[in-house]
Chain A
Amino acid sequence: MLATLGQSIELLLRWDIYLYISAGLVVGMFVGAMPGLTTILAMAVLLPISFKLEPMLGIPFLIGIYKGGIYGGSIPAILVGIPGTGASIATTIEGPKLTRQGKGRKALEMALYASVIGDAASDILTLLLIGLIAKIILLIGPPEVFAIIIFSLILIASVSGESGIKGAISACIGVGLGFVGKESVDGEARMTFGLDALVGGIPLIPLVIGIFALPEVLEAVESRARSFIGETVDPRKSGEPLRWHEFKKSIPTIIRSTWIGTGIGMVPGVGQVVAAFIGYSAAKRASKHPETFGKGELDGIAGPEAANNAVNGPTLVPLLTLGIPGDNITAILLGAFVAHGMRPGPQIFNEQGALVYAILIAAVLANVLFVALAYVLLKPFAKAIQLPKAYLVPAILALAFVGTLSTGSASDLGIMMVAGMGAYVLKKLRYDLAPMIIGFILAEPIELRLSQSILYARGDLANFFFVQRPIASFFLLAGIAWVVAMIYYRYRRVPGQPVIR
């Protein structure tokens, strides 16, 4: 273990790693700060850049975008009450009120420090625990992994959108798309419809860009508004900086929210939005002056911001130990790991332990760069949120095309366009797109693990799964129970209230 850590530290002794992390943080903060754009858009469009770099540069670059994006969303949330990303919705409760009181700068700085502390602490915890979790996971076999994947997909599909059934449909479409091309067990080509471009399967990059970038471009065009926000922002009028005594009062809130975010991050599919709201509620419940919440309370910024950023590190636990992405961002990270020849799973810690630990340590160190960059860039980004769409939308579309063309195949443009149009229609009909990409990535492991389980079962699959393998049966039964509970709570009738589906 110590030898591995030593090798990891050696890998980190390069200045260009920090340059790429900084670039990722800046891009992430910028995109996060734009209310119409999302972190996932930036990651999807810039994923090909990470493919062209070596893993020690490309993956920290994406992690930088991820971290920067989650924080960047709080800038417009505080200044104008419009969340830049979903993770910062809870911040809109206190942020604009503090800005109206002339405490915008205090709120922005509190959000920054809470974000960085929450993120760094959860990253360190992840770093310390992930090896141990991987060792435990090494003890389980294909049926258990299959059961955990199915349980995770059920969880992700049911909690990630407005309708659990639509989430499940989205996941099934993703899994179905993942079956196109050569099969992982026998190598037989399926569902290619005579197209050579599909024999190798649907490529990840055009699919990700199509699903996440194109619908955002089209949605940005839908509205006639010239920019993503209609209000004028003047960063010079944001008031005094945060004082130490003000920050000190929020330290217990930050610690509490960090634990909340860390716990939520380990569960696939739940994510930053829920963590931020729980962080806010917990801060209010623990406060000696709960009556100040809702009127402009700095603790109400620290709670959600620490919690939503603390989710970042632990989402890497199921990703790296089981190869299960908990959300669309980690699905893209999984694609990046695979493209770099790193197949996440418990074995990765034996085979490429030094590289994995180096990436995790880089994620911790990214937080130091994060404070410095964010402090300097707060004002320019606060101003940038008013950039007109007439510049941003064509630039995003041009970048989306660059990302797709970088694969070197012109047919990928067609895949990107078809995926984008389909995703736009589904998004308009309130289908969540995250389960689709997660299902696509998990299709191969699902098929491989289920095929292995069927072979082990020797014809008696039910007995094998539910009697001989208790861990697998636990996760499958938990999945079934979850589905039953979701249906029950969806259709139960509360006296005096209509059934809202």
Chain B
Amino acid sequence: MGTRTGIPDGNSIGNRRSQTAAEPRGGEAQRALSDGTQDSERDGARAGGDGSDAPAVALSAEAVEQAVAPSPLMAGLDVAVAAAIALVAATLTIAMPQLIASGGIDTERDFATLSSALIPRMAFGILALLSVVVLLQAVQAVRGGISRPRSEEGGRLLRAGVAMLIAVAYASSVTWLGYILSTMLMTAAMAWYLGLRNPLAFVPGVIVIPVTIRFVFERLLLISLPRSSIEQIGVVEDAVLRFLSQLLFV
């Protein structure tokens, strides 16, 4: 819809615009798409023939196609994901009767009869067919060789991957270290990774974010969060919350 009507998805526009402001030398094609789309929206809205202080951008068909086209990395990923979805959906369609864990009568598990397998099979069958269509389109895009001339996607994915690793470590440690300590470590790691190096700005955030969240959720909203399974840490957490409760009369 966004490509055809010039009304893009809001989230992506917000992110694209902020990225544009932040990375003056990167992602020309993406910027061309983003700016081009916005300009076309504005031009469309200005159909009465008014002027504007913003320069109009006329994109050639090749420029549009190049801007719309994914980078080689994303085109490859598109193929892989479409193939994976198609494979999983086809497997589930075929194997659905075996995936019913309990109850049911075998004769009722035929494809044409109303059973627990019928409607999921229909849904996964449609999913498999649609994925094959996207797979063919993605393969065609890769073979067509249209890709953006410069791309920072590898670096961007790497940064997101590091953030994901921090999130996974956080998820693994939250029941062991408790909410406050694990959140302190996550906040410190993420803030440092995002470029915060000044100790005066760094330390208060690392302490205030977890303590405030735990206090608000546990004492005010009565949503309990994990206490550390290491007793010494748990005792400190309890003492901090008790102190804050007394301080704020909660």
**Chain B: minimal CB distance from A185 (Å):** 8
B196 neighbours in A (Cβ, 8 Å) = 388, 390-391
Across the interface, do B45 and A294 meet the contact criterion of CB distance under 8 Å? yes
Please provide the chain B residues from 193 to 211 with a CB less than 8 Å away from any CB of chain A in the complex.
193-196, 201, 205, 209-210
Against B, the Cβ 8 Å flags (1 = close, 0 = not) of A436-454 are 0000000100110011001
Shortest Cβ-Cβ A-B pairs, 8 listed = A86-B10, A225-B22, A230-B21, A390-B196, A172-B127, A290-B48, A221-B163, A394-B187
A364 to chain B minimum Cβ distance, whole angstroms, is 26
* Chain A residues proximal to chain B, CB less than 8 Å: 35-36, 38, 48-49, 52, 73, 81-90, 92-93, 97, 158-166, 168-169, 172-173, 175-176, 179, 183, 185-194, 199, 214, 216-219, 221-226, 228-231, 273-274, 277, 280-281, 284-285, 290-295, 388-391, 393-395, 397-399, 401-402, 405-406, 410, 413-414, 416-417, 420-421, 424-426, 428-429, 432, 443, 446-447, 450-451, 454-455, 489-490, 497-498, 500-501
Is A295 within 8 A of B51, CB to CB?
Answer: yes
Q: Determine the chain B residues whose CB is within 8 A of the CB of A83 once the complex forms.
A: 10, 13-14, 17
Instruction: Tell me whether B101 and A405 are in contact (CB under 8 A).
Output: no
Q: Is the interface of A mostly helix, strand, loop or mixed?
A: helix
In contact, B3 and A172 (Cβ under 8 angstroms): no
One of A97, A417, A428 near B74 (C-beta < 8 A) = A428
B1-45 interface bits toward A, Cβ cutoff 8 Å, 1 = contact, 0 = none = 111100111110111011101110000000000000010011011
Closest-by-CB residue of A relative to B225 is A405
Chain A residues closer than 8 Å to B222, beta-carbon distance? 52
Contact B23 A224 (CB under 8 A): yes
Question: Hey, what's the 0/1 contact readout for B212-240 against A, CB within 8 Å counting as 1?
Answer: 01000100011101100000000000000
Q: How far is the CB of A484 from chain B (nearest CB, A)?
A: 15
Q: Which of A294, A390, A451, A490 contacts B205 (CB 8 A)?
A: A390
Taken together as a complex, chains A and B put the C-alpha atoms of A191 and B41 apart, in Å, by 45
Interface centre among A87, A188, A199, A388 (most CB of B within 10 A): A188
Residue on B nearest A399 in the bound complex, by CB: B213
B100 sits at the interface (CB 8 A): yes
* Contact present for B18 and A86 (CB under 8 Å): no
- Which residues in window 138-197 of B have CB below 8 A to A? 156-157, 159-160, 162-164, 167-168, 170-171, 174-175, 179, 183, 186-187, 190-191, 193-196
Distance (Å) between the CB of B153 and the closest chain A CB? Answer: 8
CB-defined contacts of B45 to chain A, threshold 8 Å:
90, 93, 277, 280-281, 284, 293-294
Which of A90, A191, A292, A393 makes the CB contact (< 8 A) with B92?
A191
Contact of B10 among A186, A273, A292, A294 (CB under 8 A): A273
Residues A172 and B123 in contact, CB atoms below 8 Å apart: yes
Flag whether B58 is at the interface (Cβ < 8 A).
no
- Which residues of the partner chain B approach A52 to less than 8 Å between Cβ atoms? 221-223
Count contacts on B: residues with CB < 8 A to the other chain.
99
Q: Give the distance in Å from the alpha carbon of A182 to the alpha carbon of B11 in the complex.
A: 34
Q: List 20 A-B contacts (CB under 8 A).
A: A93-B45, A97-B53, A168-B130, A172-B126, A176-B120, A176-B124, A189-B100, A189-B103, A224-B159, A225-B21, A281-B47, A284-B48, A390-B190, A390-B194, A390-B201, A398-B209, A398-B210, A402-B217, A417-B171, A500-B68
Q: Which residue of B15, B78, B168 contacts A36 across the interface (Cβ within 8 Å)?
A: B15
- In the bound assembly, the distance between CA atoms of A5 and B7 in angstroms comes to 40
Asked if residues B14 and A85 are in contact (CB atoms below 8 Å), the reply is yes
Q: Which residue of A lies closest to B127 (CB)?
A: A172
Task: Name the distance in Å between A299's Cβ and chain B's nearest Cβ.
Answer: 12
B107 contacts partner chain A, Cβ-Cβ < 8 Å: no
Q: How far is the CA of A288 from the CA of B66 in the complex (A)?
A: 40
Distance (Å) between the CB of B7 and the closest chain A CB? 5
Q: Report Cα–Cα, A346/B46, bound state, in Å.
A: 43
Chain A nearest CB from B207 CB (Å) reads 12
- List B contacts of A187 (CB < 8 A): 103
8 A Cβ contacts from B69-105 to A: 70, 74, 77-78, 81, 85, 89, 92, 96, 99-104
CA distance A373 to B152 in the complex (A): 41
B64 adjacent to chain A (CB < 8 Å): yes
Residues in A whose Cβ lies below 8 Å from that of B221: 49, 52
Check if B64 sits within 8 Å of A500, measured CB to CB: yes
How far is A249 from B223 in the complex, measured between Cα atoms in Å?
A: 50
Inter-subunit contact A35/B41 (CB<8 Å): no
By a CB distance below 8 angstroms, the chain B residues around A402 are 179, 213, 217, 223, 225
Q: In the docked arrangement, what's the CA distance between A228 and B194, Å?
A: 12
With contacts A49-B221, A86-B9, A394-B191 taken as known, whether A169 is within 8 angstroms of B179 at the C-beta atoms is: no
B239 to chain A, nearest CB (A): 21
Residues of B within 8 A of A169 (CB): 85, 127, 130-131, 134
Choice from B1, B171, B223 contacting A162 with Cβ under 8 Å:
B1
Q: Are A398 and B19 in touch, CB under 8 angstroms? A: no
Q: How far is the CA of A429 from the CA of B23 in the complex (A)?
A: 21
Q: Which residue of B lies closest to A231 (CB)?
A: B21
A285 to chain B, nearest CB (A): 8
Which of B127, B183, B191 meets A173, CB within 8 Å?
B127
In whole angstroms, what is the CA distance A223 to B194 when docked?
9
Establish whether residues B51 and A172, one from each chain, have CB atoms under 8 Å apart when the complex forms: no
In the complex, are the beta carbons of B7 and A274 less than 8 A apart? yes
- B81, B193, B222: which has the most chain A beta carbons within 10 Å? B81
For the complex with contacts A48-B223, A172-B127, A295-B52, 7 further pairs of A-B residues with Cβ separation under 8 Å are A168-B130, A189-B102, A219-B160, A394-B183, A394-B191, A425-B77, A500-B3
Rounded to whole angstroms, the CA-CA distance of A228 and B222 in the bound complex is 33
Is B247 among interface residues, defined by CB-CB distance under 8 A?
no
Complex formed: what's the CA distance from A136 to B68 in Å? 45
- Given the interface pairs A187-B103, A188-B104, A406-B223, the reply to whether A35 lies near B14 with Cβ below 8 Å is yes
A225 touches B23 (CB 8 A): yes
- The answer to whether A405 and B174 have CB atoms under 8 Å apart is yes
Bound CA span A38–B92, Å: 34
Least Cβ distance of A230 to chain B in Å? 4
B119 at the interface (CB under 8 A from A): yes
Q: Are A397 and B14 in contact (CB under 8 A)?
A: no
Cα–Cα distance between A218 and B165 once the two chains are bound (Å): 11
B250 within 8 A of A: no
**B248 an interface residue at 8 Å Cβ cutoff?**
no
Report the separation of the CA atoms of residues A293 and B23 in the bound assembly, to the nearest whole angstrom. Answer: 30
Look across to chain A and name the residue whose beta carbon is closest to the beta carbon of B217: A402
Q: A303 — nearest CB in chain B belongs to which residue?
A: B45
Chain A residues within 8 Å of B223, by CB: 48-49, 52, 402, 406
In contact, A86 and B171 (Cβ under 8 angstroms): no
What's the Cα separation between A281 and B44 when bound, in Å? Answer: 9
In whole angstroms, what is the CA distance A277 to B164 when docked?
A: 36
Contacts of B226 in A (CB 8 A): 405, 410
